[in-house]
Structure 1
Amino acid sequence: MKPQTLAIIEAIAKFGSQVEFAVFLNVTPGAVNQWTKEIRPVPARFCPRIEARTGVTRDRLRPDDWREYWPDYEPKEIHEPA
Protein backbone atom coordinates (compact mmCIF):
# COMPACT_ATOMS: atom_id res chain seq x y z
CA MET A 1 0.00 0.00 0.00
CA LYS A 2 1.31 3.42 -0.93
CA PRO A 3 2.14 5.95 1.82
CA GLN A 4 -0.50 8.37 0.51
CA THR A 5 -3.12 5.63 0.77
CA LEU A 6 -2.18 5.05 4.39
CA ALA A 7 -2.47 8.81 4.95
CA ILE A 8 -5.98 9.06 3.51
CA ILE A 9 -7.09 6.00 5.48
CA GLU A 10 -5.74 7.66 8.64
CA ALA A 11 -7.69 10.84 7.85
CA ILE A 12 -10.89 8.90 7.17
CA ALA A 13 -10.51 7.01 10.46
CA LYS A 14 -10.71 10.32 12.33
CA PHE A 15 -14.23 10.74 10.90
CA GLY A 16 -15.35 7.20 11.59
CA SER A 17 -16.40 6.28 8.06
CA GLN A 18 -15.89 7.04 4.40
CA VAL A 19 -19.42 8.40 4.24
CA GLU A 20 -18.81 10.94 7.02
CA PHE A 21 -15.53 11.93 5.38
CA ALA A 22 -17.30 12.36 2.04
CA VAL A 23 -19.94 14.57 3.64
CA PHE A 24 -17.21 16.73 5.17
CA LEU A 25 -15.63 17.27 1.75
CA ASN A 26 -18.96 17.42 -0.12
CA VAL A 27 -17.97 14.56 -2.44
CA THR A 28 -19.50 11.16 -3.09
CA PRO A 29 -18.53 8.19 -0.95
CA GLY A 30 -17.51 6.55 -4.23
CA ALA A 31 -14.88 9.24 -4.78
CA VAL A 32 -13.45 8.62 -1.32
CA ASN A 33 -13.43 4.91 -1.99
CA GLN A 34 -11.42 5.48 -5.17
CA TRP A 35 -8.80 7.32 -3.11
CA THR A 36 -8.50 4.40 -0.70
CA LYS A 37 -8.28 1.87 -3.54
CA GLU A 38 -5.49 3.84 -5.28
CA ILE A 39 -7.67 4.41 -8.34
CA ARG A 40 -7.32 8.19 -8.07
CA PRO A 41 -5.27 10.45 -5.80
CA VAL A 42 -6.89 12.81 -3.35
CA PRO A 43 -7.48 16.04 -5.31
CA ALA A 44 -5.02 18.71 -4.21
CA ARG A 45 -7.81 21.20 -3.53
CA PHE A 46 -8.98 19.08 -0.58
CA CYS A 47 -5.60 18.54 1.07
CA PRO A 48 -5.35 21.78 3.10
CA ARG A 49 -8.86 21.22 4.46
CA ILE A 50 -8.11 17.60 5.34
CA GLU A 51 -4.88 18.66 7.02
CA ALA A 52 -6.59 21.37 9.08
CA ARG A 53 -9.30 19.02 10.32
CA THR A 54 -7.35 15.78 10.82
CA GLY A 55 -3.69 16.70 11.17
CA VAL A 56 -2.82 14.42 8.25
CA THR A 57 -0.50 16.65 6.28
CA ARG A 58 -0.86 17.56 2.62
CA ASP A 59 2.65 16.32 1.85
CA ARG A 60 1.60 12.89 3.08
CA LEU A 61 -1.59 12.99 1.01
CA ARG A 62 0.25 14.10 -2.18
CA PRO A 63 3.90 13.00 -1.69
CA ASP A 64 4.73 13.05 -5.40
CA ASP A 65 3.62 16.56 -6.24
CA TRP A 66 2.84 18.63 -3.16
CA ARG A 67 5.65 21.09 -3.98
CA GLU A 68 3.91 21.96 -7.25
CA TYR A 69 0.72 22.97 -5.44
CA TRP A 70 2.15 24.54 -2.30
CA PRO A 71 5.71 25.77 -3.02
CA ASP A 72 5.83 27.82 0.20
CA TYR A 73 4.56 24.98 2.39
CA GLU A 74 7.11 23.57 4.80
CA PRO A 75 6.28 20.13 6.15
CA LYS A 76 7.48 19.06 9.55
CA GLU A 77 9.18 16.09 7.95
CA ILE A 78 10.13 15.64 4.32
CA HIS A 79 8.30 12.67 2.83
CA GLU A 80 10.04 11.53 -0.31
CA PRO A 81 7.93 10.07 -3.13
CA ALA A 82 7.59 6.30 -3.07
Structure 2
Amino acid sequence: MLWIGEKRTVKTLLRFFRWFGLERSLALEFICSDIWKPYLKVIAKKAAGALHILDRFHIMAHLGKAIDEVCAQEAKDSKKRKA
Protein backbone atom coordinates (compact mmCIF):
# COMPACT_ATOMS: atom_id res chain seq x y z
CA MET A 1 0.00 0.00 0.00
CA LEU A 2 1.49 3.28 -1.09
CA TRP A 3 -1.25 5.83 -0.57
CA ILE A 4 -4.85 6.19 0.64
CA GLY A 5 -7.10 9.16 -0.10
CA GLU A 6 -9.97 10.35 2.06
CA LYS A 7 -12.76 10.46 -0.50
CA ARG A 8 -13.50 8.27 -3.49
CA THR A 9 -13.31 10.97 -6.15
CA VAL A 10 -11.38 11.65 -9.32
CA LYS A 11 -9.93 14.72 -7.62
CA THR A 12 -8.54 12.57 -4.79
CA LEU A 13 -6.87 10.16 -7.20
CA LEU A 14 -5.43 13.04 -9.22
CA ARG A 15 -4.02 14.41 -5.96
CA PHE A 16 -2.10 11.15 -5.54
CA PHE A 17 -0.53 11.44 -8.98
CA ARG A 18 0.45 15.07 -8.31
CA TRP A 19 2.02 14.02 -4.99
CA PHE A 20 3.77 11.05 -6.56
CA GLY A 21 5.18 13.07 -9.46
CA LEU A 22 5.14 12.65 -13.23
CA GLU A 23 8.39 10.71 -13.56
CA ARG A 24 7.51 8.16 -10.87
CA SER A 25 3.92 7.87 -12.12
CA LEU A 26 5.12 7.01 -15.61
CA ALA A 27 7.55 4.47 -14.14
CA LEU A 28 4.86 2.58 -12.19
CA GLU A 29 4.74 -1.08 -13.15
CA PHE A 30 1.65 -2.22 -11.21
CA ILE A 31 -1.47 -0.51 -9.85
CA CYS A 32 -4.33 -2.18 -7.99
CA SER A 33 -7.75 -0.58 -7.68
CA ASP A 34 -11.42 -1.33 -7.85
CA ILE A 35 -13.42 -1.20 -11.08
CA TRP A 36 -14.82 2.32 -10.67
CA LYS A 37 -14.75 3.77 -14.21
CA PRO A 38 -13.38 7.20 -13.22
CA TYR A 39 -10.42 5.45 -11.53
CA LEU A 40 -9.81 3.36 -14.63
CA LYS A 41 -9.72 6.49 -16.81
CA VAL A 42 -7.39 8.45 -14.51
CA ILE A 43 -5.00 5.53 -14.11
CA ALA A 44 -4.95 4.88 -17.87
CA LYS A 45 -4.03 8.53 -18.41
CA LYS A 46 -1.54 9.04 -15.59
CA ALA A 47 0.17 5.61 -15.50
CA ALA A 48 -0.43 4.19 -18.95
CA GLY A 49 2.52 1.79 -18.75
CA ALA A 50 1.43 0.13 -15.51
CA LEU A 51 -0.30 -3.22 -15.37
CA HIS A 52 -3.66 -2.40 -13.80
CA ILE A 53 -4.73 -5.16 -11.43
CA LEU A 54 -8.41 -5.10 -10.52
CA ASP A 55 -9.17 -6.29 -7.03
CA ARG A 56 -10.78 -9.72 -6.73
CA PHE A 57 -13.56 -8.61 -4.37
CA HIS A 58 -15.13 -6.24 -6.89
CA ILE A 59 -14.70 -8.61 -9.82
CA MET A 60 -16.40 -11.42 -7.91
CA ALA A 61 -19.19 -9.05 -6.79
CA HIS A 62 -19.89 -8.09 -10.41
CA LEU A 63 -19.71 -11.71 -11.53
CA GLY A 64 -22.09 -12.83 -8.77
CA LYS A 65 -24.58 -10.11 -9.68
CA ALA A 66 -24.46 -11.07 -13.36
CA ILE A 67 -25.02 -14.75 -12.53
CA ASP A 68 -27.99 -13.85 -10.29
CA GLU A 69 -29.53 -11.78 -13.09
CA VAL A 70 -29.14 -14.60 -15.62
CA CYS A 71 -30.61 -17.15 -13.18
CA ALA A 72 -33.59 -14.89 -12.44
CA GLN A 73 -34.26 -14.39 -16.16
CA GLU A 74 -33.96 -18.12 -16.83
CA ALA A 75 -36.47 -18.84 -14.05
CA LYS A 76 -38.95 -16.31 -15.52
CA ASP A 77 -38.51 -17.76 -19.01
CA SER A 78 -39.01 -21.29 -17.67
CA LYS A 79 -42.28 -20.30 -15.96
CA LYS A 80 -43.55 -18.70 -19.17
CA ARG A 81 -42.79 -21.84 -21.20
CA LYS A 82 -44.66 -24.01 -18.68
CA ALA A 83 -47.74 -21.77 -18.68
What is the TM-score normalised by the length of structure 1?
0.32
What is the TM-score normalised by the length of structure 2?
0.32
Which structure's CA Rg is the greater one? 2
Instruction: Report the structure, 1 or 2, having the larger helix content.
Output: 2
Instruction: Report the structure, 1 or 2, having the larger strand content.
Output: 2
